[in-house]
Structure 1
Amino acid sequence: MAEINKCYDDSEGDLEMDATVKNKRDLPKAYGYEDALNLTGHGRYNLGLLAACFMLITAMGIDIFGLGIIVTAATCDLSLTLQQIGVLSSMPFAGIIVMSYPWGYLSDTRGRKLVLMWAMCGSFLSAVLSSFAPTWQVLAALRFIGSALSSAAESATYALLGECCGAKVRARYMLLMTSALMLTPTLYYIWGYLIMKLNFSIPFLGIVYRPWRLLTLVMALPLGLGALMLHFYCESPKFLTNVGRKEEALVNLNKMYVKNGGVEGQYPVNDVYLEEGNKEDVGVFSLRSLWTQIAPLFKPPLLWRTLLLYYLTFVTYIANNSFAIILPTIFNVFFTSYATSAADAGFCDLFMDANTNSAASNQTVSVSTECRNTINDNTIWAGCAHGFSFFLLNALISQCAGKRKVLTIVILVVAASAAVGIDNTGEPISGLVLFYIYLTTAMVFGVISSYFVDLFPTSYRGMVACIGMMVARLSAFAGTNVVGALITTHCSSALYGAAALVLSGAIAAAMLPTGDL
């Protein structure tokens, strides 16, 4: 009897064990975020999100950098002086500097998509209203607001796209996003060329509606189109997981899976976690949350990578944007002076000649007592060639995204060498070619953005990128004033100084981690 009872007890224990095993098998398996993301596949969702983010970056570039065309075209209508032109031209950078930190904080606490939708819609409205500005002061205020809002795209788009695309394509997509910025000059130069050929004056609501106002309106449209395209895509599942909203994250991952060709209901992930751990408190507004978003960036173990990437940001943006922002002026000086220059004149000699010729100088800064309804054709074609060629070059470089460290070093070394050679060729055309090569420092922008995504935890990704953009625009703002003051009087010194700075950036890039994203 005891033996029978013992057998019964053993069989009962076996049944309990089988039930435990069965229950364990029925429990949802938890996947790390990268594994869960890879299981969504790669297809229509990723390509569509890339297109939406590409449009947002393009719209931001047009909104910020296209202001130079608008200011030039509006000079007569708004009776602008040189000082007023300077104030207007600085508005986008002022807006970016003011809002970089808030956008980073909001992106990391409220969501990537949410921030982008509000920011781009607001920027669109501000840009549209600026086309009806009655005075230059109103135009300056509206452009400040618009650029402050659109600057959210600089970091939030990279974070959103990087967190929704697998590791195999992430680096390539980051570089393709930079191609959008390369394409923007081609777009607004062509639009400026076509629209400013028109000749109309229509009294409307106390203003006279002229071609430059139509150009402003047309340049605002990509902001609204980008927001509309983004509306059809999900919030970053990684952000949602990070702030403890796992159910929403799983819903979004499933949507991505289905749109990429998966069968509804067959997505295998029922639970997801972040390999670096969750930071649920980052989703709450508070002064403590504000501090916790920035403090870790400047403490070990993130301190070194923060300083390294910010230095690279400083170098590339001051070296590139300081010249790129005044590129129409440089082109105007070059083409104006080249026709009358001596046979043995070098690249910098053209700027020295222009400085001694008041008439050429006035033409260079596009200031005249006469109203002009067109933009210089040579400036248009040179700007288009610059934008389109750099777009193609960046697209080609994106195919080598796995070698981003080597790419960064090579680009910066070549650019530094070109800067040294610009004024030593003995004639201006080859100097102009080398100047184009020097401007390839812009190719590094996307690489730096990819490192911001790759080297920092999800909780701080938006913040570190936005502060990086603050560093970038502050350096560009300061560099533009320096270059503007030196380009006609100490051109060679400015180029040699730029070469040394870029070379130091190449040395810093050698300290970046090696490996694919």
Structure 2
Amino acid sequence: MVLSKTDAEAPAAKEEIPHDHLFKVTGLSSTNLEKLAQDAETADFETAIAATGYGKFNVYLMLCTLPAFCSAVSVTSSVSYIFTQAQCDMQLSLLDMGTLNAITYGGMISSALVWGFLSDTLGRRRIMVWGFLFTGILEMCVGISQNFIMLLLTRFFSGFFFNGPFAVLISYLAELHRTELRAKVILLTSLFYTIANTALPLLAWAILTKDWHFYIFGTSFVIHAWNLFLLATALIPLITGLVFFCMPESPKFLMSRGRNAEAMQIFKRIYAMNTGKPMEDYPIKLLVEEKSEQQAEGLAALRGGWSQLAPLFRPPHLKWLMLICVIHVCCMFGSNTIRLWYPQLASMIDSGSNEGLCSAIAPDTNPAPDVLCQPIQTDMLTYLQSAVVGAGSVITYGIGGLLINRCGKRFVAGICSLLSAAILVMLPLWGTGAFSVVAMVTIALAFTSLGGATLSSICVDLFPTSLRVMAMATYLMSGRLGTISGTIAFPALVEYGCLPPFLTIAAVLAAYGIGCALVPNTTLKKLE
């Protein structure tokens, strides 16, 4: 048979290999072989979020978190500013004040596991929206409180609802930034704490120095200046809830629930906002399948939730969860005790005198009987001292943002705790006037704030997406146990003298610093 040139040059017909032969040779069906070919083109979360770039969306996200961090300060700290006036209106003792400072954290603890479970199964965004809105409503109820019991109960339930959205917020921030930016962003957004801690005493000065009393329904219902201050701070969580209506769901959460189509749309929107290019230009076309969609929503998610979260309380995650929680207990015992009691301490120290800290807080061993309660008189300098203390973290956050990836997170957290412990040991000895007390407390709180923000970043990195918010909720719950212990222990220790409360706080902070050496290195670790 003679072949023509045309026949010889013609390409051979492509031979179709039967499906059953493919299965015999490879053990895989043609469908699975096609999927393997596609896997080479799929992108995991880290690749997808890195492809969105950094720009307007990230700046907008950080600005949206500003009222959220301000809410954290107002919900937990606003009541500490009203004691100078409310102690006479409600006949509050030092122990009552400590209880009011602590009760919000009690509400947070009681709801920690519930919120962690719901957000890890139902999503981040809706928890933040409704959690902040309900917190704002309850804070309004705090603002109209007329007696100690009402104030105590409303503060408890405010903490109950606030715990969920704020625990979600840290994970939400981490899940919308690429690896090398994640720790820095969490650290830098913590600067919003500084803004809030600076603005809150200035708001207190604007309202609490006024002798305002508004009588409603005769004399049975009175709105004092401190009620107006609490009502003003209640607006912050309400604004926060409305802001997060405009934010997208976490794409990492959506991928972990098998909802890749929704995650892809969010990645494209972020890309378009950051680069100014059309959404269709987003370079990632296919996302890796992390989980099937059968358990993605509704009752299926709730039914599978408990089994999904069980690994958090088993090795290897259990030991790290216990360690980070114990460290956080010590961190918050020191940091929040000083922060929450400082407004009262500042009001006791005459800003124009050289009276030492120990002289100001020494218990009155000979109280005069049947003396009419007189509110502590405060002036602008009293609140400016608190504003300076609140603003003191600016420098340390800036330095921490530069050093955290170079020196390591656990090193930064450990050194901060040891330095703050050393300063607090010296506080009763060197705190001989208003200026020296302000300076030392400012530096100590700046270090503990930086250390606490670094610890939060470590906790985010330690756990996979399906366990992250639950771990953060447990982590924050442990810190609130430390806050409750410290705020109640402080007035009790003051009864034994000036040194015991500050030495106790310093010892606890030193233990926290030593514990940081046992934490695994998570610097530049990718999210699981």
User: Are residue 381 (structure 1) and residue 384 (structure 2) matched?
Assistant: yes
Aligned letter for 1:202?
A: F
Alignment partner of 2:258: what SS? Answer: coil
Distance 2:391 2:76 in 1: 18
Aligned letter for 1:66?
A: S
Aligned letter for 1:388?
A: A
Counterpart of 1:192? 204
User: Which of 445, 457, 461 is the aligned partner of 1:450?
Assistant: 457
| 1:242/1:279 contact within 8 Å kept | no
Task: Report the CA distance shift for 1:293/1:435 in structure 2 as closer, same or farther (over 3 A).
Answer: farther
| 2:102/2:487 contact within 8 Å kept | no
Give runs of aligned pairs for residues 58-69 of structure 1, distance below 5 A: 58-69=70-81
| 1:421/1:431 contact within 8 Å kept | no
Distance 2:505 2:354 in 1: 28
**Could you tell me how far 1:419 is from its partner in structure 2?**
2.8
Distance 1:405 1:84 in 2: 37
Alignment partner of 1:238: what SS? Answer: helix
Counterpart of 1:166? 178
User: Are residue 438 (structure 1) and residue 444 (structure 2) matched?
Assistant: yes
User: Are residue 307 (structure 1) and residue 319 (structure 2) matched?
Assistant: no
Task: Report the CA distance shift for 1:385/1:2 in structure 2 as closer, same or farther (over 3 A).
Answer: farther
Cα RMSD for the two superposed structures: 3.5
Counterpart of 1:421? 426
Counterpart of 1:268? 283
| 2:120/2:470 contact within 8 Å kept | yes
- Alignment deviations for residues 139-185 of structure 1 (CA, whole Å, 9 cap, x no partner): 33332222221222332111111101112221111112322223323
User: Which of 351, 361, 376 is the aligned partner of 1:351?
Assistant: 361
Give runs of aligned pairs for residues 135-150 of structure 1, distance below 5 A: 135-150=147-162
**Could you tell me how far 1:72 is from its partner in structure 2?**
4.2
Counterpart of 1:246? 260
Task: Report the CA distance shift for 1:34/1:312 in structure 2 as closer, same or farther (over 3 A).
Answer: same
Task: Report the CA distance shift for 1:279/1:178 in structure 2 as closer, same or farther (over 3 A).
Answer: farther
Alignment partner of 1:231: what SS? Answer: helix
User: Are residue 232 (structure 1) and residue 237 (structure 2) matched?
Assistant: no
**More displaced 10-residue stretch of structure 1: 485-494 or 382-391:** 485-494
Task: Report the CA distance shift for 1:409/1:284 in structure 2 as closer, same or farther (over 3 A).
Answer: same
- Alignment deviations for residues 190-231 of structure 1 (CA, whole Å, 9 cap, x no partner): 111111233444344663333223222211121122222222
**Could you tell me how far 1:370 is from its partner in structure 2?**
4.2
User: Which of 306, 316, 320 is the aligned partner of 1:291?
Assistant: 306
| 1:96/1:147 contact within 8 Å kept | yes
Distance 2:364 2:184 in 1: 44
Counterpart of 1:319? 334
- Structure 2 unaligned residues grouped into runs of 5+: 19-29
Counterpart of 1:207? 221
| 2:95/2:491 contact within 8 Å kept | no
| 1:242/1:458 contact within 8 Å kept | yes
Alignment partner of 1:152: what SS? Answer: helix
Task: Report the CA distance shift for 1:232/1:25 in structure 2 as closer, same or farther (over 3 A).
Answer: same
Distance 2:82 2:2 in 1: 98
TM-score normalised to structure 1 length: 0.85
| 1:31/1:273 contact within 8 Å kept | yes
Distance 2:93 2:418 in 1: 40
**More displaced 10-residue stretch of structure 1: 39-48 or 128-137:** 128-137
Distance 2:97 2:455 in 1: 32
- Report how many residues are paired: 498
**More displaced 10-residue stretch of structure 1: 432-441 or 504-513:** 432-441
Task: Report the CA distance shift for 1:254/1:78 in structure 2 as closer, same or farther (over 3 A).
Answer: same
Aligned letter for 1:516?
A: L
